[in-house]
Chains A and B, each alone.
Chain A
Amino acid sequence: SSELTQDPTVSVALGQTVRITCQGDSLRSFYASWYQQKPGQAPLLVIYGKNNRPSGIPDRFSGSSSGNTASLTITGAQAEDEADYYCNSRDSSVYHWVFGGGTKLTVL
């Protein structure tokens, strides 16, 4: 089965740009989706498909993909963006889904 690999921790200065990456073979075949999770809350979809934001998600969140890597970029990070971020994709060989291990984003 496929795996998705994320850096465990990333930090960014307030107002700066940060990229969170997700690597996996399945990303060559399928789009990733990205979820933000704050303590004690359910995950929240922030990016899906090529680069689509659900209603209510600020436009500072964007997504991109190249080869086996999907990226979530926050342009002008805000204090409220401090959270755990997870990528997700369908497994490339079986009808299963897999999450990355998550990235804890700290806004300094």
Chain B
Amino acid sequence: QVQLVQSGAEVKKPGASVKVSCKSSGYSFTSHYMHWVRQAPGQGLEWMGLINPSGGTTTYAQKMQGRVTMTRDMSTSTDYLELSSLRSEDTAVYYCARDNSFTINGVSGWWFDPWGQGTLVTVSS
């Protein structure tokens, strides 16, 4: 079955960087974009960005520009999210989610399925 398995929880100090991994299985890794979404404690979902199937193109949310890097290793079917200059507000659960899309009668739709189990990143001094 299609599955996304993420790396384990991390605790980082302010100013440090963190790298979260998301390993895909059960589907053609090179056929789908991958999104990253985060959720701060008690808050809603926040879209962070996506990476294209070949790993050559990324698009980041404006809020994340300059601090986030998304990459992928085609040999291991693994996506990576790196966030630098961490601050307390970055404490959140980080999710990877596979992109799916269609266009019917000129109208397009996208959906995120499946999702990884989430990785808790805690930023604390």
Contacts and interface: CB of A to CB of B under 8 A. Distances in A.
Contacts of A54: 113
A34 B83 CA distance: 27
Interface string B8-45: 00000000000000000000000000010100000011
A61 interface: no
Interface residues of A, number: 28
Contacts, number: 74
Main secondary structure of the interface of B (DSSP, over half): strand
Interface pairs A-B: 10 shortest CB-CB: A31-B109, A48-B111, A33-B111, A45-B113, A99-B45, A42-B115, A102-B44, A97-B47, A49-B109, A101-B44
Interface of B: 35, 37, 44-47, 50, 59, 61-62, 95, 97, 100, 102, 104, 107-118
Given A48-B111, A89-B110, 14 more contacts: A29-B107, A30-B107, A30-B110, A31-B109, A32-B109, A42-B116, A43-B95, A45-B111, A86-B44, A88-B110, A95-B59, A96-B47, A96-B61, A99-B47
28 contacts: A1-B62, A30-B109, A31-B110, A35-B112, A42-B95, A42-B116, A42-B117, A43-B37, A43-B95, A43-B112, A44-B115, A45-B113, A48-B111, A49-B102, A50-B104, A54-B113, A86-B44, A88-B45, A88-B111, A96-B59, A96-B61, A97-B47, A97-B50, A97-B110, A99-B45, A99-B46, A100-B44, A102-B44
